[in-house]
A and B are shown apart, each in its own frame.
Chain A
Amino acid sequence: MIIISNVHKRFGPKQVLKGINLKIYDGESLVILGPSGCGKSVLLKHIIGLMKPDSGQVIIDGEDVTNFDQKRLDALRMRMGMLFQSAALFDSLNVEENVAFGLRRHTNMSDRAIHHIVSEKLEMVGLPGTNYLMPSELSGGMRKRVGLARAIAMEPEIILYDEPTTGLDPIMTSAIDELHLSLKERLGVTSIVVTHDLKSAYRVCDRIALHYGGQIVEIGSREDIINSPNPVVQQFIRGEAHGPMTLV
């Protein structure tokens, strides 16, 4: 279980996280919704240890990871995968080398076994036969899918998705959502998804949290969110420009 307890984070004069509290249960898929620039990606980076909170705790399986040294943090990261907003593929490596990166650095698998796994993951994300293309030869959507293949290559227990469907066409969005659900069913993966895409969020979520003003203003099942009386929630899900939620 992941527990985020009273996490604060400030960048200069801007307080991005103002005492976030959140519990993510094993095997669940939690979607974090929120307006642009509210700190959703910052929250993900705290969970994987890329950022340290000014105060508060991030507890994973009973241990506060904010106090982890590099070695323990690396061991934790081997259990996690992250899909970045921009895919963050390594420009100088081809698709196969990108997807195989973790396997090559942290396992003793043969080249043949690694190639097999890479091809399997690429097929899962709908990109068979793209092993030797360079990232510069891929479209935005293809880059994102390669990023997802890289995130799942080590078969992690926890996957963090930072806007996984942004820039994808509706069919590919649906395919990514199905892949997400199948990983959850097959491997019992815990997923935390940051997105703006309500349709995709409703499809993959067990619970949805709305992040606004540095805090979680609402959390619950899809129905709880849709029927929430909170005007901030209603404004967000209806996509209205005017209301209690101010534009950043």
Chain B
Amino acid sequence: MFLINYFKGLIESLGSMTILFMQTIYWTLNAIKGGRFSAKNLFDQMSRIGVDSLSMVAITGFSTGAVLVVQIGYQFAQMGAQSYVGGVVSLAMARELAPILTSIVVAGRVGSAIAAEIGTMKITEQIDALETMATNPVDYLVVPRFWGCTIMLFMLTIFTNVIGMIGGSIVAIHQIGLTLVAFKDSILHMLLVQDLMGGLFKATIFGAIIAIIGCYKGFTTEGGAEGVGESTTSAVVVSIMMILAVNYFLTVGINNFNTAYLQ
């Protein structure tokens, strides 16, 4: 019985999130059509979501690139395959690590903040106040957060890739004994544009997932401060679980696409 109720609740939540996503697209088109799309609100959200996450993302990217080179560098050197280090690291970063790790960092920082902010608005009747002033909460609250998160995840992932490569190259030069030119040549030889684009596409989808789950958890907040706390935690946990689950299907889809059209 518990399992049945659990899955029923899960399906209901997924359905409600899908409806929220559709409403977000509807209100975006509506705002563009009516000339009401607020660039200022969007840039505010991009700044809060993206610029404020830069330091965390930089540390994550640098550390991942550096550790990856440490882990594989010596093994490759023993096999005389140093020339592949840069390429393997860049492939791992571009295809998987940069989009996944950036998304997890942003889910922790931004997804929780979105859920807390909207959840607080819900329990203090601010959402009701918006409606009484003929303002749709999805239009006013979700649309700028959704696009801010989606666009900034794309950009932050580019940043993570670059920082990861810098971290990796520093370790490769100083610990593995590679030259910068060899490291760079290896990247240029192995990394393809579709590898980068595939990772960035995934990051964009993850950005949308983080924003929709954060907003949904905010809108469904009940009770007082405890309810906000639960929504915040739940937003992060569900976002990360969803990112990991969706990542598998996206990876398979992207690989199939690359095989069918780009090779």
Contact = CB atoms under 8 A, between A and B. Distances in A.
B52 interface: no
B133 A105 contact: yes
B132 interface: yes
A78 B117 CA distance: 26
Most A CB within 10 A of own CB, among B125, B131, B135, B136: B125
Most A CB within 10 A of own CB, among B117, B121, B126: B126
B83 interface: no
A48 B128 CA distance: 10
Contacts of A49: 131
Contacts of B239: none
A94 to B, nearest CB: 14
Contacts of B136: 70
Interface in A59-118: 70, 74-75, 77-78, 80-82, 84-86, 88-92, 101-102, 105-106
Contacts of A48: 132
B129 A84 contact: yes
B131 A50 contact: yes
Interface string B111-128: 000000100110011101
Given A82-B129, A88-B129, A105 B124 contact: no
Contact of B126 (A75, A78, A80, A88): A88
A84 B117 CA distance: 19
A45 B127 CA distance: 13
Contacts of B124: 86, 88, 91
A105 B125 contact: no
B134 interface: yes
A48 B134 CA distance: 10
B125 A86 contact: yes
B126 A77 contact: no
Contacts of A92: 117
Contact of A90 (B129, B131, B134): B129
Contacts of A102: 133-134
A50 B133 contact: no
Nearest to B139: A105
A90 B41 CA distance: 15
B125 A90 contact: no
A105 B134 contact: yes
Nearest to A85: B125
A85 B128 CA distance: 12
B128 A50 contact: yes
A70 B134 CA distance: 9
B131 A77 contact: yes
Contacts of B128: 45, 50, 84, 88
Contacts of A85: 125
Interface of A: 45, 48-50, 70, 74-75, 77-78, 80-82, 84-86, 88-92, 101-102, 105-106
16 contacts: A50-B131, A77-B131, A77-B132, A77-B134, A82-B129, A84-B129, A85-B125, A86-B125, A88-B124, A89-B129, A90-B126, A90-B129, A90-B130, A91-B120, A91-B121, A102-B134
The 10 nearest A-B residue pairs measured at CB? A74-B134, A88-B129, A88-B125, A77-B134, A82-B132, A102-B133, A84-B125, A88-B126, A78-B134, A50-B128
Given A88-B126, A91-B121, A101-B135, 9 more contacts: A49-B131, A50-B128, A77-B132, A80-B132, A82-B129, A82-B132, A84-B129, A88-B124, A89-B126
